[in-house]
Chains A and B, each alone.
Chain A
Amino acid sequence: MKKILVLQKQAPYGSSLARDGLDYVLTSAAYDQDISMAFIGDGVWQLVKSQQPAEIKQKSQLAALDVLSLYDVEKLYACHEDLNARGLSPQDLGVDVTCISRAEIKQLMVEQDHVIGF
């Protein structure tokens, strides 16, 4: 079992990367890896409450993130600075994440066996 950090860097719906990154997390978790996810940059938008993507014929990223606990992926982090820069606070988020600083995310990366970003 290896420690893998997956960085989610893109907003949902505008590109497929948000979903593609999540699919990689679910695959890795199914193979019993120790996964952490960090939502950074525009990736924090994936976490926002009340998404209604059916209006634009897309599947909900928020609903997909709900599945993570079933795969025992519970180490979810969002970057404070990136939330603030986008006018978001922890109250705006629909996913149970730990909000940490950019410096702490850097430290998180150092602790991993592997890091991959989408």
Chain B
Amino acid sequence: MKGFALHFCFCDTRPMKFSLLVLSAPHSRQASQSALKFAQTALANGHELYRVFFYQDGVHNASQLQSPPQDETNLHDEWQALADTQGTDLVVCIAAALKRGILDADEAERYERPQHNLAKPFELSGLGQLLDAQLQSDRLITFA
């Protein structure tokens, strides 16, 4: 344990593979903003971000229709920028999303809804992707 503690104090820069689980909606809770900041910082420090999985109210991060004031963060756009520049995998739980009115074009057609609000780089998928993220990553960090 002593050796481990010393190693930690000297800032071990061995790259780690992180995945993030986001459970709350933008603006209502700080969690989405914290998750984004963590993601950006981890990548800037040379770590790998395997996946960001949006579950429960976190699915609201994926809505293209978010329109916050100019001086506040647009979380959809920030996550999109991360995917565009870093190739980050952004996965949204389909069951949680459908219930909350977050749909891509295919689901909007399937459920005969007038609009859709989710598009690439966000993807709708199942909880199997969260399990995969947990199994493949050194750490899965939850932002609730």
- Mask of A17-50 contacts with B, CB within 8 angstroms, 1/0: 1001001100110010100000000000000000
Pair A116/B56 contact, Cβ less than 8 Å? no
| Interface set, chain B 109-139, CB cutoff 8 A to A | 126-128, 130-131, 134-135
A33 to B140, alpha carbons, bound, how many Å? 16
CB pair A116–B140 under 8 Å, yes or no, is yes
Q: Are A17 and B135 in contact (CB under 8 A)?
A: no
Q: Which residues of B contact A2 (CB under 8 A)?
A: 135
Q: Contacts A24-B127, A24-B130, A27-B131 hold; do A116 and B21 have CB atoms under 8 A apart?
A: yes
Q: Is B36 an interface residue (CB 8 A)?
A: no
Return chain A residues, CB-CB under 8 Å to B131: 24, 27-28, 31, 33
What are 14 A-B pairs with beta-carbon distances under 8 A?
A16-B56, A17-B23, A17-B56, A20-B55, A27-B126, A27-B127, A27-B130, A27-B131, A31-B128, A114-B135, A114-B140, A116-B134, A116-B142, A118-B23
For A114, the chain B residues whose CB sits under 8 A away are 134-135, 140
Interface residues of B (CB under 8 A from A): 21, 23, 55-56, 95-96, 126-128, 130-131, 134-135, 140, 142
A23:B95 contact, CB within 8 angstroms = yes
Q: Is the CB of A23 within 8 A of B127?
A: yes
A7, B142: Cα distance in complex, Å: 12
Residues of B within 8 A of A116 (CB): 21, 134, 140, 142
Which residues of chain A have C-beta atoms less than 8 A from B134's C-beta? 4, 114, 116
A20 contacts across to B, CB distance below 8 A: 55-56, 96
Which A residues touch B128, using CB under 8 A? 27, 31
